[in-house]
Structure 1
Amino acid sequence: MARKNNKSQNSTPKKSHTEKTPQSIQSTSPAAEGQELAPAEAPTSRSLLSLVTNIKTQRALQLILLACIHAAVSQLNLSPVYGAVPAGLYHRYGLTAAFLLAFLLRGYLPTWIGQAITPFCFWIPLIQFCLFRLSSTLGNPLGPIVTECLTCFPIVTVSVYMAMDFLEEGTGSQQGDTFPSMGLFVLFTVMQRVCKALVAAITGPGFLRSRIGMQLMIASLYGTVLPKNVIWPSLPAVAFTMVANPHCSLSRTTEVLNNTLALDGYTLLERKESVTGYISVLDDTRRGLRVMRCDHSLLGGEWSMPSKPWRQVGEPIYAIFTMLEAVRLVEPTSSASEKSLLNIGLGIGTAPSAMIAHGVDTTIVEIDPVVHDFATKYFALPTNHTYYMGDALAFVSNTSSGASYDYIIHDVFTGGAEPAELFTMEFLTGLHTLLKPEGVIAINYAGDIAMPAASIIYRTITSVFPSCRVFREDEAPDPNVKPDDFTNMVFFCRKDYRPLTFRKPVEADFLGSGARREYMLPQHEIAPSTFDTSVDVLRSGKTKELEKWQAQSAIGHWKVMRTVLPDAIWENW
């Protein structure tokens, strides 16, 4: 029976491929086509969801994120030794080269290379500790390049290499397919900027928010992302970091730091990480002075002198800070009995302390709370002043009451360069509005007079304030002897066109200070012809040209700082 049924089925005539049944005609109708296409979207959605939730893809994205965070923290660790601006000169190019190297090495590195990332990260603080001792030999900017080529860039290369492998496994793409790699590069570029801002925002007091603390946390996170990690080679490096590395902010390592600094006659009083950099206060026991440091620059200092009844303020080690107080000497002065001052940028508080001592109602704008805290604690900044903690741009734009101040002191130099936005025409115009009709502004600018940056600053300031005179801190060098001319300059300006002159100071102006008696009245004037007035003024959001020249000027500042304090002070933080 089965054989017969099969034969009956086989005897059914077959239809040709061109013959259409009613069912086949119905299936090719537009409605039917839509019904068949609609379910096709579901596999696409499912494939996208499976790609995002795939563990391999997630590991690839995590490695890219960690590499970007590591690069940002690397810059923080370089800034106390080389300065933030010089350390970042070639950083972006190095990261791009590291990414391209990872792409070229695909398929050539051994399979165990991923297991080396975590222990190498734990060794980086120790490697940097050793390399920083060569900073004076390597110089700047070669020192940051060499240091990151041996620490940061290898981590980025291997991280990207492993991320590409994980992404290929997660997406099923073939080796040599450039599309996933291009996507990673775009993500890597974007994440660099995001992570730089993120790291700057979370850096602060406390071990976990410190530079070394974040390095150890990144190493630990690599250990959780990568499988089959080998941790035991990290133990010697971690032990050294926690016990003997002076860059670590623990009490034991701080004691080690002070023992090291004592060899050069210095004592660390306190140090903290903050929004503008690594802030510390040190005593020079041999010369008898105290300084406040921010990364690779000094915010100011005072001589340690016994208190005397006639001395009302401290004796600064830099003449430039006493010169800023000459805003009180500009004639004619306001007829108001009570004077007011807006001080932008605090430092150790040399000029504000003197103005407060003269009875001037003082408002201080300082972005870094640690700087204000240390100035009050270690440099006797009087507490009877108004303090605004935050960005000067926001303060000026939000202060609606115009013509409020008789004097303005603009002193924001730190880390080898000034914030360019605080020298734009828009910001200076805001200060012009806040200044009374007979008021005077003193603007401190540090840089190389021979570079275009100084001319850009001069052109911008004089476009806002019509009557200005510029003085330098020291006498101009012979151009045949010294090719570069890095110095502090003070611009004294007023709102109207009257010539700017200074009255002769009296004894009360000096507040019992010998440094003010010697240096407060400006002496070394810079001729207007020194500057190139054909350059464009500096506009908000268009500061790239100034920042380019500031980078070169920052290297000159780095060399100057290495003559002010011994190398060991900068290298050991």
Structure 2
Amino acid sequence: MSSLAGLVQPTTRQLLTGTALLFLTAFYSPLTVLMLTPVYGSAPAHIFHGYGVALVGAAGWFLKDYIQRLTGRRALFLLPVVAFWVPTLQSFLFASSSVMGNPFGAVVTEVISYYPLLLLSVACAGKLVQSGLDLGRHGDAVAEHVPLVVSYVLYKTGEKFAKAFLAKFIGTTFFFSRAGLQLLLPVFYTAIAPSKFLLFAIPSLLFSMTSNVHMNSGALNSFLNEEGFALVARQDSTTGYISVLDNLNDGFRVMRCDHSLLGGQWTKMPNNYNPAVMDPIYSVFTMLEAVRLVETDHGEPRVDANSKALVIGLGVGTTPSALIHHGIETTIVELDPVVHKFATEYFHLPSNHIAAIEDATAFVKRTPPAQYDYIVHDVFTGGVEPLELFTLEFLESLSSLLKDDGVIAINYAGDISLYPAALTVRTIQYVFPTCRIFREASDSDLTTDFTNMVIFCKKSSATPLTFRDPVSADYMGSKFRQMYLMPKVEIDASRFETIEKGGRRVLHSMNTHLLHKYQDRSALEHWNIMRHVLPDFVWENW
């Protein structure tokens, strides 16, 4: 085994090796966030990640000479060992997420598992790039600062490539999954710096292959079965880690996306009870079906035959399944192909619908106007609302797709005491002047202001919005729908009229970045709620 001093020579080889290290290090940045999101949520995982990477990366560069002396100039050969231990350390740290809390637990996990790799990688890569450029003859300032700038540019280029790669290929094979990549990337480190130190990586590698639940479905299911749960399916995808879980004791099935639930259905039902559409575990999805019950301006009930509905955001498919059962031609816009696949295979989504697997903004832009009698807008995921789908511009585009007597139901999930909720309601009312707002439960039933709020609106403003009384066919043989189909707990819209100091009346697409701090707060609140919906071990063992 040669030392780093023997390798560092003013050659192209050293520059290429340093570049490869920086690209590998950059790839770990978004990958580490992906590993954190099933346990801590997407927004909380990002809160301090950028700051931490910048600080540790800078420390690696400026301490590169000290680190080489401290490790006896063998830091390069320690990198593969550290990389192989990252997933094992994360696995053990995730088990303490409920104790550490959020976002503190996410920070601690990165400090112990990822930052040591980042520190060593930048130190080694910086030394190699500096030696490869060999700018000493131009003075100390040039010899130190030009390699620093070059290293930064290489790192940012690698990070950009990593994000593009993950967006396109995540989940296509095991080694392109978030867990599989944590086995693949250390192999590349090994190719750069093979050594006998790799013997110290064997215990971690054995654990990863046999007992790490993130990499071994058999190990995960064995653990979950002992706690009364079963893994039905799982796959990484464009919007996050998607899985289907059965609760074997209480009798329900859910679809998970990172640290959030997209919905679920009851699977354990009384004998001779067979609703046409499975009962959801959340009443809000049944309430959304009431979009059919909104009366026309003439007070007439709407006719399902020859009607068309657009559903933006699929979840497990409860609401679109009901619309399809009622004979309504239903188009579903869903960004994530795995969500659509799992809803079809595991949640009884009927096949007789039009599926548009694409971004909702792109779909709306290319769709001719006045197409739909009903629109259901239900896009909450990952603990936050996608702000771009609540802007004035997007909602105006949605309005153009409704027929003149059309109706829209918008599900907003969040803390309704915060500024974004009021801003969202005002934006909706600016586009749709005739609205009524309902929440999932009454104030006395809640211990938090985080709730589902459904805004029903008509395109026409000729008459107030009213609902017809449901009939037996509306319930589709479901006792659950008899209880929850009709919206009951109405919210006074006047509570959202006050504009706080420095606030805006409506949300424009150019201003969505101003709400990120509120989204972080909402995501942390949602994280705590989810930890009461399912046990900690379910979220920690994905």
Note whether the superposition's TM-score is higher than 0.5: yes
**Is 1:132 aligned to residue 94 of structure 2?**
yes
The answer for the alignment partner of 1:22 in structure 2 is: none
8 Å contact from structure 1 (residues 300, 348) kept in 2: yes
| SS of match in other structure, 2:214 | coil
- CA deviation profile, 1:347-395 (whole Å, cap 9, x unmatched): 1110011111111111111111111111111111111111111111111
Aligned pairs (5 A) from 1:64-143: 64-109=22-67, 110=71, 111-143=73-105
The answer for the alignment partner of 1:495 in structure 2 is: 459
Aligned equivalents of 1:148 and 1:426: distance in 2?
Answer: 38
Aligned equivalents of 1:172 and 1:76: distance in 2?
Answer: 37
The answer for the alignment partner of 2:4 in structure 1 is: none
1:460 maps to amino acid: T
| SS of match in other structure, 1:259 | helix
The answer for the alignment partner of 2:3 in structure 1 is: none
8 Å contact from structure 1 (residues 477, 485) kept in 2: no
User: Over aligned residues, Cα RMSD in angstroms?
Assistant: 2.0
2:383 maps to amino acid: G
- CA deviation profile, 1:9-65 (whole Å, cap 9, x unmatched): xxxxxxxxxxxxxxxxxxxxxxxxxxxxxxxxxxxxxxxxxx997111112221111
Instruction: State which of 324, 344, 367 in structure 2 corresponds to 1:356.
Output: 324
**Is 1:218 aligned to residue 185 of structure 2?**
yes
1:85 maps to amino acid: A
The answer for the alignment partner of 1:373 in structure 2 is: 341
8 Å contact from structure 2 (residues 10, 133) kept in 1: no
- CA deviation profile, 1:528-563 (whole Å, cap 9, x unmatched): 232255342222243112232111101111111100
Alpha-carbon distance change, 145 to 316 in structure 1, aligned in 2, over 3 angstroms = same
The answer for the alignment partner of 1:5 in structure 2 is: none
8 Å contact from structure 1 (residues 366, 372) kept in 2: yes
How far the C-alpha of 1:511 sits from its partner, in A, is 0.7
**Is 1:150 aligned to residue 108 of structure 2?**
no
The answer for the alignment partner of 2:210 in structure 1 is: 243
How far the C-alpha of 1:426 sits from its partner, in A, is 1.3
Instruction: State which of 155, 159, 162 in structure 1 corresponds to 2:124.
Output: 162
Aligned equivalents of 2:326 and 2:271: distance in 1?
Answer: 19
The answer for the alignment partner of 1:523 in structure 2 is: 488
Instruction: State which of 215, 222, 233 in structure 2 corresponds to 1:259.
Output: 222
The answer for the alignment partner of 1:37 in structure 2 is: none
How far the C-alpha of 1:516 sits from its partner, in A, is 1.1
| SS of match in other structure, 1:512 | coil
How far the C-alpha of 1:201 sits from its partner, in A, is 2.1
The answer for the alignment partner of 1:33 in structure 2 is: none
The answer for the alignment partner of 1:466 in structure 2 is: 433
Alpha-carbon distance change, 566 to 431 in structure 1, aligned in 2, over 3 angstroms = same
Aligned equivalents of 1:436 and 1:518: distance in 2?
Answer: 30
How far the C-alpha of 1:196 sits from its partner, in A, is 2.3
How far the C-alpha of 1:456 sits from its partner, in A, is 1.9
Identity of aligned residues (%): 46
Aligned equivalents of 1:52 and 1:465: distance in 2?
Answer: 67
Instruction: State which of 410, 419, 423 in structure 2 corresponds to 1:443.
Output: 410
Aligned pairs (5 A) from 1:169-188: 169-174=131-136, 177-188=144-155
Aligned equivalents of 1:215 and 1:457: distance in 2?
Answer: 40
The answer for the alignment partner of 1:313 in structure 2 is: 277
8 Å contact from structure 1 (residues 76, 211) kept in 2: yes
How far the C-alpha of 1:256 sits from its partner, in A, is 1.6
Aligned pairs (5 A) from 1:324-403: 324-332=288-296, 333-334=301-302, 337-399=305-367, 401-403=368-370
Q: Which runs of no fewer than 5 residues in structure 2 stay unpaired?
A: 1-8
1:225 maps to amino acid: I
How far the C-alpha of 1:100 sits from its partner, in A, is 1.5
How far the C-alpha of 1:156 sits from its partner, in A, is 1.5
- CA deviation profile, 1:389-425 (whole Å, cap 9, x unmatched): 11111111111x2111000001111111122211111
The answer for the alignment partner of 1:553 in structure 2 is: 522
Alpha-carbon distance change, 309 to 257 in structure 1, aligned in 2, over 3 angstroms = closer
Instruction: State which of 230, 246, 249 in structure 2 corresponds to 1:283.
Output: 246
Aligned equivalents of 1:183 and 1:549: distance in 2?
Answer: 36
Aligned equivalents of 2:307 and 2:198: distance in 1?
Answer: 64
| SS of match in other structure, 2:490 | strand
**Is 1:476 aligned to residue 443 of structure 2?**
yes
Alpha-carbon distance change, 265 to 309 in structure 1, aligned in 2, over 3 angstroms = closer
| SS of match in other structure, 1:408 | strand
8 Å contact from structure 1 (residues 223, 229) kept in 2: no
Aligned equivalents of 1:126 and 1:532: distance in 2?
Answer: 51
Aligned equivalents of 1:394 and 1:444: distance in 2?
Answer: 20
**Is 1:420 aligned to residue 387 of structure 2?**
yes
**Is 1:195 aligned to residue 157 of structure 2?**
no
Alpha-carbon distance change, 307 to 428 in structure 1, aligned in 2, over 3 angstroms = farther
2:416 maps to amino acid: I
The answer for the alignment partner of 2:5 in structure 1 is: none
How far the C-alpha of 1:144 sits from its partner, in A, is 0.7
Q: Which has the larger radius of gyration?
A: 1
Aligned equivalents of 1:52 and 1:450: distance in 2?
Answer: 61
8 Å contact from structure 1 (residues 59, 226) kept in 2: no
8 Å contact from structure 1 (residues 118, 229) kept in 2: no
8 Å contact from structure 1 (residues 459, 533) kept in 2: no
